[in-house]
Chains A and B, each alone.
Chain A
């Protein structure tokens, strides 16, 4: 099983700041098969990034993803108030298709 470790666990920031979230895999993720999801309280997750760097439909360009192998990054270039949420990475290269434990962005 591939274990995904996200860092930091939580982060306190202000609107307008730039943030970098990390997702590290215990072994190489096949074909950059890594996605990022955003979840707000009481809501279902929402797809942000797939295949490590492709933005999902309707996702603003302030969100970007990068990485390969075992190290992946989600960058939010300028935080908006609606971006404060929990962010999860997921690998879908090898079953079981594991999630990271999440990073909580707080104001």
Chain B
């Protein structure tokens, strides 16, 4: 059974950093790209970015709203994907979902999400 478990969320002040982790199980982690999607309170889904697998040089893509501030990485030996968030803004507040991305680009599995609150 595919499982994705996010951790690392919490309350952080504007301008500070936070790192989220996504621990995967139930599939061959190193064969898949991994995505992050977020959802502000009471709002819709927003694509944040993704990291390809080693076969595609672990290249990354990001939404314009986070590019230069957020970095996605992965550790295939631990089956973990990371979302490093720097220079956080209040508008980054929301639930962050880790997800598995299929080769063509759709998301077939989602974690339960972790809440990030950026507030002073």
Contacts and interface: CB of A to CB of B under 8 A. Distances in A.
B113 interface: yes
A44 B106 CA distance: 15
Given A44-B110, A44-B112, A45-B97, A97 B105 contact: yes
Contact-residue bracket for chain B: 20 to 34
Given A33-B104, A47-B106, A90 B111 contact: no
B104 A90 contact: no
Given A44-B111, A44-B113, A96-B64, A50 B106 contact: yes
A63 to B, nearest CB: 15
Given A88-B44, A90-B45, A100-B44, A50 B61 contact: no
Contact of A98 (B47, B61, B107, B108): B47
B89 interface: no
Interface of A: 1, 31, 33, 35, 37, 39, 43-47, 50-51, 56, 88, 90, 92-93, 95-102
Interface of B: 37, 44-47, 61, 63-64, 97, 102, 104-113
9 contacts: A44-B111, A45-B110, A50-B104, A51-B104, A88-B44, A88-B45, A90-B107, A96-B47, A102-B44
